[in-house]
Amino acid sequence: QSALTQPASVSGSPGQSITISCTGTSSDVGGYNYVSWYQQHPGKAPKLMIYEVSNRPSGVSNRFSGSKSGNTASLTISGLQAEDEADYYCSSYTSSSTLLYVFGTGTKVTVL
């Protein structure tokens, strides 16, 4: 079971919108609505931003939104702000025989 595929980096200017993709297979992303997204600032623990593809936990800004089409999930950050600069990871439940959950490769978001 390989990690889910994310772009290594995405950048945008303050106020812009960016989208991070997360590509898997029908055994994980495409097969279940159990995709979640995590934000991680340097030296800090990850923080849940999106669960069940498109739901935001209490306290997470509505500038963060999630969606899914086929085997690819996406995280969109609108109105980009300096504090959004961080690493972002997707994750999915998987029916693989070797794993229960799989993370994405991670995306570094840079605010220009």
**Sign of the torsion formed by the C-alpha atoms of 67, 70, 73 and 76:** negative
60 binds other proteins (CB under 8 A): no
8 binds other proteins (CB under 8 A): no
Q: CA–CA separation, 78 vs 86, rounded Å?
A: 15
Q: Applying CB under 8 A, which part among 11-19, 60-68, 71-79, 85-93 lies near other proteins?
A: 85-93
Minimum Å distance from CB 41 to other proteins?
A: 12
Nearest alpha carbon to residue 4 among 21, 108, 85, 39: 21
Q: CA–CA separation, 74 vs 4, rounded Å?
A: 12
Cα torsion 99, 75, 87, 51 to 10°: value is -50
The angle subtended at Cα 110 by Cα 108 and Cα 112, nearest 5°, is: 165
Give whichever of 12 and 60 is closer to other proteins, judged by the CB atom.
Answer: 60
Candidate list 20, 77, 89, 111; residue touching other proteins; CB under 8 A: 89
Candidate list 22, 28, 38, 71; residue touching other proteins; CB under 8 A: 38
59 binds other proteins (CB under 8 A): no
The footprint of other proteins (CB under 8 A) covers 1, 3, 33-34, 36, 38, 40, 45-48, 51-52, 55, 57, 89, 91, 93, 98-106
